[in-house]
Amino acid sequence: MAERFDRIWHNARLATMHRDMPDLGVVEGGLIAARDGRIAFAGARADFPSAADAAERIDCEGRWITPGLIDCHTHLVYGGNRAHEFELRLKGASYEEIARAGGGIVSTVAATRQADVADLISGALPRLDALIGEGVTTIEIKSGYGLDTDTEMRQLKAARDLGRIRPVTVRTSFLGAHALPPEEGDKDRYIDRVCQQMLPAVAEAGLADAVDAFMEGIAFSRAQTARVFAAARAFGLPVKLHADQLSNLGGAALAAEFSALSADHLEHTEEEGVAAMAGAGTVAVLLPGAFYFIRETQKPPVELFRAHRVNMALATDCNPGSSPLTSLLLAMNMGATLFRMTVAECLLGVTREGARALGLLAETGTLEAGKWCDLAIWDIERPAELVYRIGFNPLHSRVWRGQ
């Protein structure tokens, strides 16, 4: 009897991102078959059982298929915006000066505390839709603009709800240790609250898939971050870290010590931290949107990541202060132009390595049988076009879990 599938995409060129194949794992004359929302076959037409039967057959007319894109680092859910601070920065103020003067993250905290879940969802939806419109099928969303239990939980609920309202996989990260809330004068006392009240409440409500922190002069120290990570471990939650963005406090090494899924930013990371990440299998998440927007000059050590075989992901860091970016295509162009990443590194960075950075590599990020059938289908002649163009979206269609 012929094997039966729900849907078949044929006459396609596949960039499978398969790790055992060179470069992008390209298959010409490719075909993908889906059953029950998962990929049942991805490979050459010639290797597909000719007697197979499908409820629906889609002729891709030679278009390229990549895995659905993954934005593995965003702060998508927040209140207000910070266009006025952008104007101040254009007059010469630095990102750190604005933060120290009571602007920055805490100004978004004030706006987020005013917002209910419905407000947070309606504010985030246009941003989410922009990403989805470019083929994103998985997105990570952090809290961190509440800095009190109720608001952090509202942010995470809004993030979870976005994954029910739109056909997209949402992973949430609790970022209570993002900044010192304005009503609190002491960082250690706030970290006590994060570890003893906020994180337990969030974890018990099942609202977080991971725990993140901002380790930086304007945020939290190595010791304070380590306390947050130990508390996360007690709840069985994996960790990730905003590390070495504005200065090198040894964030990459601390992330590795806690077997973090990822360490993110990393502009100021040195070889010792890179080697520690390699040993721990921690992914380097590079965020060129923030580098560009706050006009950083220190680039992340891409050559060291290559030399030590640290996997690199790319993400938007979509947030109102340092990266109001809702385009992964543009993030790829910036990764190539600003950080000198190759086309393959950029494309792997928003697919396979993005999945790895979220602990989701078994489910998505490559075109392989058994994974969710998350696809992006493109009107392009070659994959490099996805990285090369600036402000152009060649997405033909998008498939999330087979639909």
Contact positions vs Fe ion (CB under 5 A): 317
The binding track of 261-300 with respect to ligand DI6, each residue x by CB under 6 A or -, is -----------------------------x----------
From the list ligand DI6, Fe ion, none, which binds 245 (C-beta under 5 to 8 Å, kind-based)? ligand DI6
Q: Is 169 in the site for ligand DI6 (CB under 6 A)?
A: no
Amino acid at 213: A
Smaller CB distance to ligand DI6: residue 137 or 245? 245
Smaller CB distance to ligand DI6: residue 106 or 384? 106
What is the Cα Rg of the chain in Å?
A: 21
Question: Among 73, 242, 371, 401, which residue interacts with ligand DI6 (rule: CB under 6 A)?
Answer: 242
Q: Is 66 in the site for ligand DI6 (CB under 6 A)?
A: no
From the list Fe ion, ligand DI6, none, which binds 105 (C-beta under 5 to 8 Å, kind-based)? ligand DI6
Q: Give the range of 61-69, 305-313, 320-328, 357-365 binding ligand DI6 by CB under 6 A.
A: 320-328
Least distance in angstroms from the C-beta of 298 to ligand DI6:
14
Q: Give the range of 16-24, 36-44, 101-109, 159-167 binding ligand DI6 by CB under 6 A.
A: 101-109
Least distance in angstroms from the C-beta of 136 to ligand DI6:
19
Least distance in angstroms from the C-beta of 178 to ligand DI6:
6
Least distance in angstroms from the C-beta of 216 to Fe ion:
11
Closest CA to 345 of 301, 313, 299, 390: 313
Position of minimal CB gap to ligand DI6? 321
Q: Is 326 in the site for ligand DI6 (CB under 6 A)?
A: no
Task: Return the HEC string of the chain.
Answer: CCCEEEEEEEEEEEECCCCCCCCCCEEEEEEEEEECCEEEEEEEHHHCCCCCEEEEEEECCCCEEEECEEECCCCCCCCCCCHHHHHHHHCCCCHHHHHHCCCCHHHHHHHHHCCCHHHHHHHHHHHHHHHHCCCEEEEEEECCCCCCHHHHHHHHHHHHHHHHHCCCEEEEEEEEECCCCCCCCCHHHHHHHHHHHHHHHHHHCCCCCEEEEEECCCCECHHHHHHHHHHHHHCCCCEEEEECCCCCCCHHHHHHHCCCCEEEECCCCCHHHHHHHHHHCCEEEECHHHHHHCCCCCCCCHHHHHHCCCCEEECCCCECCCECCCCHHHHHHHHHHHHCCCHHHHHHHCCHHHHHHCCCCCCCCCCCCCCECCEEEECCCCCCHHHHCCCCCCEEEEECCCC
Q: Is 335 in the site for ligand DI6 (CB under 6 A)?
A: no
Q: Is 141 in the site for ligand DI6 (CB under 6 A)?
A: no
Least distance in angstroms from the C-beta of 320 to ligand DI6:
5
From the list Fe ion, ligand DI6, none, which binds 322 (C-beta under 5 to 8 Å, kind-based)? ligand DI6
From the list ligand DI6, Fe ion, none, which binds 320 (C-beta under 5 to 8 Å, kind-based)? ligand DI6
Question: Among 321, 324, 335, 394, which residue interacts with ligand DI6 (rule: CB under 6 A)?
Answer: 321
Question: Among 322, 327, 333, 364, which residue interacts with ligand DI6 (rule: CB under 6 A)?
Answer: 322
Least distance in angstroms from the C-beta of 252 to Fe ion:
15
**Residue 27 Cα to chain centre, angstroms:** 26
Q: Is 143 in the site for ligand DI6 (CB under 6 A)?
A: no
Smaller CB distance to Fe ion: residue 140 or 317? 317
Closest CA to 176 of 122, 231, 137: 231
C-alpha 69/C-alpha 137 separation (Å) is 6
Least distance in angstroms from the C-beta of 216 to ligand DI6:
7
**What is the β-pairing status of strands 53-59 and 64-67?**
unpaired
The binding track of 102-121 with respect to ligand DI6, each residue x by CB under 6 A or -, is --xx--x-------------
| Chain residues that interact with ligand DI6, rule: CB under 6 A | 104-105, 108, 178, 214, 242, 245, 290, 317, 319-322
